[in-house]
Structure 1
């Protein structure tokens, strides 16, 4: 189930608000320019479907979204289980960073947490199957797919080079770390 937990950035243990209502999640996130919505697709590809099948199933949505955002490419990221590379990749995602373009994700299966840091607050958004989130360029955030990731997501890019992060060097992600993570462990 999708959820939002909102905190002051100096009080990780005291949520200001918690909600599982998608309309409320979208309303709160709009205050910092983040787009959140639910997509209802008549077809949901299998969890292990080839990337081309996943892209084809969501093509009408992608065409509209890419037209709205000026995005140039889309791909599929599919992670099931903590392979050898996952701990290092997870630590990279767990460091607060920004992008020069919007970070757009649609969750086909599974879940992951986008944690946004803006206006003195931290917005922990649990995205689940059917959720679209678009984090505007320049909004500090991090992502946690969990110690054992299990998700399939569409990624939409304007820059054809794909995911390029600029790390902020702020240790806030460590203060808001999940109990099972090792935190941000890359040189920024």
Structure 2
């Protein structure tokens, strides 16, 4: 189930907003420029499907999204509890950063949390299967896939070099990531 919890950035212990309805989550996030939606695909590929099969299953959505955003490529990211290098990658993702392009992810299987820091608020978005999130360029955020991750996502890029982060140097993520 998709969940949005919003906190004052100086009070990680108490959510001031808690939402589970995807339409309400989308509305709350739209107010800060973040796109959130659910895709209802008639075909959901198996968790271990080849990348080409996963991309083909979502091609109509990808073509429309890439046309809207000018994105140039998409790929599939699979992370599980046995993914080599996950602990090191997770530390990198848990540091607040920004990108020069929108960070667009669609969850095919599993879940992960995008945590955004906007206007003295922290927006913790638990994305689950069928959720699309697009974090605008320049928006401070971090990602938590957990200590035992299990997710498959589509990643959509404008820059064909892929994921490039500029770290903010803030330590706020440590206050909002209990398992860091």
Deviations 1:95-141 (A, max 9, x none): 00000000000000000000000010000000000000000000000
Match of 2:174 in 1: 174
Name the counterpart of 1:12: 12
Distance in structure 2 (CA, Å) of the matches to 1:32 and 1:168: 19
Deviation at 1:80, TM superposition (A): 1.4
Matched, 1:93 2:99: no
The answer on 1:104 being equivalent to 2:100 is no
Structure 1: give runs of 5+ residues left out of the alignment: 182-188
Q: CA RMSD in A?
A: 0.7
Query: Using the alignment, how far apart are the partners of 1:19 and 1:119 within structure 2?
Result: 19
Match of 2:42 in 1: 42
Q: Following TM superposition, by how much is the alpha carbon of 1:84 offset from its aligned partner in structure 2, in angstroms?
A: 3.7
Q: Residue 148 of structure 1: SS of its match in structure 2?
A: coil
Q: Are positions 1:61 and 2:55 aligned together? A: no
Deviation at 1:14, TM superposition (A): 1.1
CA distance in 2, matches of 1:168, 1:82: 30
Over 2 Å off, 4+ runs: none
The answer to whether structure 1 residue 51 and structure 2 residue 51 are counterparts is yes
Residue 83 of structure 1 deviates from its aligned partner by 3.3
Tell me the SS of whatever aligns to 2:55: helix
Matched, 1:164 2:164: yes
**1:40-91 alpha-carbon deviations (Å, 9 max, x no partner):** 0000000000111000000000000000000000000011114340100000
SS state at 2:56 partner: helix
CA distance in 1, matches of 2:74, 2:84: 26
Unaligned stretches of 5+ residues in structure 2: none
Number of residue equivalences: 180
Answer whether contact 1:2 1:126 (CA < 8 A) is retained: yes
